[in-house]
Amino acid sequence: MSNIYSWQKEIWQTLTRNFATQQRCHALLLKGHQGIGKFDFSRYFAKSLLCDHAKEDIQACGTCQSCHWFEQGAHPNFYQVVPEALSEVVSEDTDRAGAEETAGNSKSKKKASQQISVGQIRNLTDFVYMSGHQSGYKIVLIYPSEAMNKAAANALLKKLEEPPEQVLFILVTHHPQHLPPTIRSRCQQITMPAPDVKTSLDWLVQQAVKDPQSCLTAAGLAPLTALQFNDSELFAQHEQFIQQISSPMQLNPISLALTMQQVDLSTLVSWLQKWCYDLVSYAVCGKVRYYHDQQAMIESLAANINTHACITYVRTLYTHQRLSQHPLNPRLFLEEIFLSYIQLVNEKAI
Ligand SMILES: [Zn+2]
């Protein structure tokens, strides 16, 4: 990635303008849906702040020594903290596009930690408190910040409470509500924009995605996630999943849990969340948000659900989304949520 995404131009201008004119800011919190390019944006922002010859709107020149160091992952004034499971995915020579949603989708990363540990935050101490290369900013990027466990968050809080000179923390999060309020309140919070459907589709066409509409639907309208679906096994698994849950009378939770065990749990839960969101949305206001191509099926299922129970179920799925990072038994975890789903959609039909 050499630039920001088209839907981020406005927020870029606002942020850089504020940054140039306001008092020094020590911590930024970039928040927004997963798969909309927050990570790429934050890295480009860091690269631009560190650039020796930044252009007028603080965009990195791409040619100076600082920009080269940054691209090679060797900038002495930049420190990136990600969970072990993400560390290879977002390694410095990776094509940045699409990095956001890849966490957990890789089978080889199953055993790597999804958390940011207290050790990783403590390791920042030297970087943060020692004098940096030349003058200017030292930047710490923490992604996704909600992956910090409690001890890690406390360790970071201490650093935010006594912010060192010339250090900027950039926290990037999909779920700001999972961060302690004490951390949130010490950051300048920036809501990152999500592109509308047309912008996303145009972008996916530019990326040569074969079936942009289906990929975007499967990705819950997040374009960078949609890119991951292009021509992938995950796309086929999503199709299979939707086919099964749209026929709840034939659905067997045990066999579905077995079939889907190759898919990352968090990803599965997010599919189910969006499907159930559409059921509620259709029942309440006759509209679907994600699964337009399944509207007829959603309509018939929505006629048979208890809307309140479905809203409760969607809320429960948010809790499951957190638990999905470390379930005791993944198969049982899935069977339980599928069983609840079957009861929900068959409630009036039985
Ligand atoms: Zn430069």
Is the residue at 247 inside a domain? Answer: yes
**182 lies in the same domain as 320:** no
Burial class (CB within 10 angstroms; exposed 0-12, middle 13-18, buried 19+) of 119: exposed
Q: Are residues 185 and 272 in the same domain?
A: no
Percent of the chain scoring above 70 in pLDDT: 88
CATH number for 128: 3.40.50.300
Q: How far is the CA of 14 from the centre of ligand 1 (A)?
A: 21
Point out the domain boundary residue: 191, 208, 242.
191
Asked if residue 207 is part of any domain, the answer here is no
Distance 61 CA to ligand 1 centre (A): 4
Distance 130 CA to ligand 1 centre (A): 24
Same structural domain, 148 and 252: no
Identify whether 79 is part of a domain: yes
Residues 186, 237 within the same domain: no
In a domain, 88, yes or no: yes
Q: Are residues 182 and 34 in the same domain?
A: yes
197 within domain boundaries: no
Instruction: Answer whether residue 285 is part of any domain.
Output: yes
Cα 63 to ligand 1 centre (Å): 5
User: In this predicted model, what pLDDT tens digit does every residue of 12-53 receive, in sequence order?
Assistant: 999 988 877 766 689 999 999 999 999 999 999 999 999 998
Amino acid in the structure at residue 343:
Q
- DSSP assignment of 142-203 equals ETTGGGB-HHHHHHHHHHHHSPPTTEEEEEEES-GGGS-HHHHTTSEEEEPPPPPHHHHHHH
Q: What is the pLDDT of residues 162-215, one digit of tens each?
A: 888 889 999 999 999 999 999 999 999 999 999 999 999 999 999 999 899 989
Percent of the chain with pLDDT over 90: 55
The DSSP output letter for 91 is -
Ligand 1 center to residue 34 CA distance, Å? 28
Instruction: Assess whether 78 and 178 both reside in one domain.
Output: yes
- The alpha carbon of 339 and the centre of ligand 1 are apart by a number of angstroms equal to 55
pLDDT of residue 224: 95
* 137 CA → ligand 1 middle, Å: 14
Residue-wise pLDDT for 180-190, tens only, equals 999 999 999 99
CA of 17 to the centre of ligand 1 (A): 19
Token representation of residue 143:
């992604």
Give, in order, the Cα–Cα distances in Å from 13 to each of 23, 24, 113, 199, 200.
17, 17, 36, 19, 21
Instruction: Return the SS3 of 139.
Output: strand
Whether the full predicted model's pTM is greater than 0.75, yes or no, is yes
Residue 19 alpha carbon to ligand 1 centre in Å = 18
- CA 24 – ligand 1 centroid, Å: 21
Residues 165 and 97 in one domain: yes
Number of helices (H), then strands (E), belonging to the chain: the values are: 17, 5
Q: How many Å lie between the centroid of ligand 1 and the Cα of residue 46?
A: 11
Q: Count the domains in the chain.
A: 2
- Residues 244 and 113 both lie in one domain: no
Query: Pick from 177, 165, 267: which is nearest to 225 by CA?
Result: 267
- Given 191, 219, 245, the domain boundary residue is 191
Full residue range of the structural domain in which residue 68 is found: 6-191
Tell how far the Cα of 64 is from the centroid of ligand 1, in angstroms: 4
Distance 103 CA to ligand 1 centre (A): 29
Q: Give the pLDDT confidence score for residue 132 in this predicted structure.
A: 64
Q: 11 C-alpha to center of ligand 1: Å?
A: 21
The Å distance, Cα 12 to ligand 1 centre, comes to 17
Q: Say if 221 falls within a structural domain.
A: no
What's the gap in Å between 142 CA and the centre of ligand 1? 22
Whether 150 shows a pLDDT value over 70: the answer reads: yes
| Buried b or exposed e, range 204-242, using 16+ CB within 10 angstroms | beebebeebebbbbbbbbbbbbbbbbbeeebbebbeebb
**pLDDT bucket at 133, cuts 50 / 70 / 90:** low
Beta strands in the chain (DSSP E): 27-31, 78-81, 138-142, 167-173, 188-191
In this predicted structure, what is the pLDDT of residue 279?
94
pLDDT tens-place string over residues 72-126? 999 999 999 999 888 866 654 344 444 454 444 444 445 678 899 999 999 999 8
Query: Could you read off the pLDDT of 211-248 as tens digits, one per residue?
Result: 999 899 888 899 999 998 888 888 899 999 999 999 88
Q: What is the CATH number of the domain that holds 281?
A: 1.20.272.10
pLDDT bracket for residue 267 (50, 70, 90)? confident
Where does residue 33 rank: exposed (0-12), middle (13-18), buried (19+ CB within 10 A)?
middle
Among the candidates 159, 191, 223, a domain finishes at 191
Instruction: Say if residue 44 is in the same domain as residue 105.
Output: yes
Q: Which of the 8 DSSP states describes residue 138?
A: E
Q: Which residues pair with 140 in a beta bridge?
A: 79, 169
**Same domain for 57 and 107:** yes
Which residue matches tokens 């592109």?
Answer: 195
Cβ neighbours of residue 182 closer than 8 Å, sequence gap 6 or more = 157
182 in the same domain as 263: no
167-173/188-191 β-pairing = unpaired
Local structure of 108: helix, strand or coil: helix
Strand 167-173 and strand 27-31: the pairing is: parallel
- Residue 202 maps to a domain: no
pLDDT in tens, 273-283: 999 999 999 99
Q: Is 142 in the same domain as 10? A: yes
